[in-house]
Structure formats: C-alpha cells, structure tokens
A and B are shown apart, each in its own frame.
Chain A
Amino acid sequence: EAGVTQFPSHSVIEKGQTVTLRCDPISGHDNLYWYRRVMGKEIKFLLHFVKESKQDESGMPNNRFLAERTGGTYSTLKVQPAELEDSGVYFCASSQVGGILEETQYFGPGTRLLVL
C-alpha cells in the first residue's frame, strides 16, 4: 500500500512568487492534515480536511495560504505571495475516519520550501 506522497520534495522561490504544494493521502483516508515546521521549531498544525470539507483551518497563519481538496482526494496548499518567513518543511498527513485508527496519522516526506 502506498503511503502519503507529497510533491515537490523541494522548492526554492523568490519572495513574492507563488508556490503550490500537493499531497496525495493514503487511499481510503478521508482525513487529511497539513502541518509545517519552521526554522527547526515544533511542527505546527495548519488545517484539517474531512473529504473535501475544511473541518478546522484555525492553524492557517494568514490569508496568503489557501488549501483545497476538490473531490476529496488529493490536496493542494498554495502560498501567494510567498514571504521569507514561510520557509520551512510542509508536511501532509492522513488518517482513516472512524474507530481507533482515526487518531493515527501517517505522514508524508514533506516539502522543503525555501523563500529567498
């Protein structure tokens, strides 16, 4: 079974540009999460989808960040325009809905974003 995949693995952009990150969750997982780790600090929650609906987006830092999950499969996270402080590693995770396994989140390898 394929795990959570993310694309690209690395992205280097200039301040003011736009970047779109993609996450493909484990097949059958309706829960999809975005997290990020900035400057070697703790990994922080950004938002949570259940299928195509945003369940919780309280962790989104500002309106430069837009997450979508059309069709309830893969998700994209767009940063527009990117700022220097957006540099970090963006992780995606997924989990099943219902039962004990819902609380266990499986993470992708992350996208390392560097804004110059």
Chain B
Amino acid sequence: GEDVEQSLFLSVREGDSSVINCTYTDSSSTYLYWYKQEPGAGLQLLTYIFSNMDMKQDQRLTVLLNKKDKHLSLRIADTQTGDSAIYFCADYKEGRTGRRALTFGSGTRLQVQP
C-alpha cells in the first residue's frame, strides 16, 4: 500500500475553512511537507513541519501533526477561489542506504465554490 494517503477531493465555499488530511506510515519521517499544484503549473512548496512539532501556523495556513496517529492536516482559513488546486502531502526521511527523497500522497483536489 501507499506510504502516504490523502482523500482525493474536497469542496468548500469561499470564506469557509478547508481542512485537508493526510496519513503516513513511517514513524521515522523527519519532515512533513505540503505542496500546492495549480492547474498547469508545477509544485509550489507551501509549508513544512518538523516531526518534533505539533503545530505550525503561517498566515492563513495551520499545520497540525499528530505523531501518535501519524496524521497530518493542513487548515486553510478564509478559503479563496485562488486556493483551488491540488494539495500534496509528502514526508521526508533518510533511508539506510542514504536515500533522501520525498514520498508523496496522491494529492487532494480542493475546489472552492464562489
């Protein structure tokens, strides 16, 4: 199965809060990331959280990390139509062979209704 899992789709109304959830399996993950991909564009780094943190806030974005449950969430306050995009959760770890790579989820498509 996948190492990182996300729900595929989320629809919210403009002005509401959006919460995108992610679960991961590897407890040795050191960093967890949220990337955003707008239509036709590349991956934009939104925010990241160290594995020894529970929460990180950055303007309208709040990241919550529950290490016990291996659950990561991204909350977007006052969601705008410009927030419509695919959001990817990713974890980072250094493997025994020295591998340093991100493991991504399938992405959650956020649709913001005006």
Chain A interface (Cβ < 8 Å from any Cβ of B): 4, 6, 31, 33, 35, 40-45, 48, 55-56, 58-59, 91, 93, 102-110
Contact = CB atoms under 8 A, between A and B. Distances in A.
A29 B106 CA distance: 27
B98 interface: yes
Interface of B: 2, 4, 30-31, 33, 35, 41-45, 48, 88, 90, 92, 97-107
Nearest to B31: A103
Contact of A48 (B101, B104, B106): B101
Contacts of B4: 42
Given A55-B98, A56-B99, A103-B92, A109 B42 contact: yes
A48 B88 contact: no
Contacts, number: 66
Contact of B41 (A42, A102, A105, A109): A109
Contacts of A55: 98-100
A45 B42 contact: no
Nearest to B3: A42
A48 B100 contact: yes
A31 B100 contact: yes
Contacts of B106: 40-42
B105 A42 contact: yes
Contacts of B33: 104
A103 B102 CA distance: 9
Closest 5 CB pairs of A and B: A109-B42, A107-B43, A43-B104, A45-B101, A42-B106
Contacts of B102: 33, 35, 43, 45, 93, 105
A103 B42 contact: no
Nearest to A4: B42
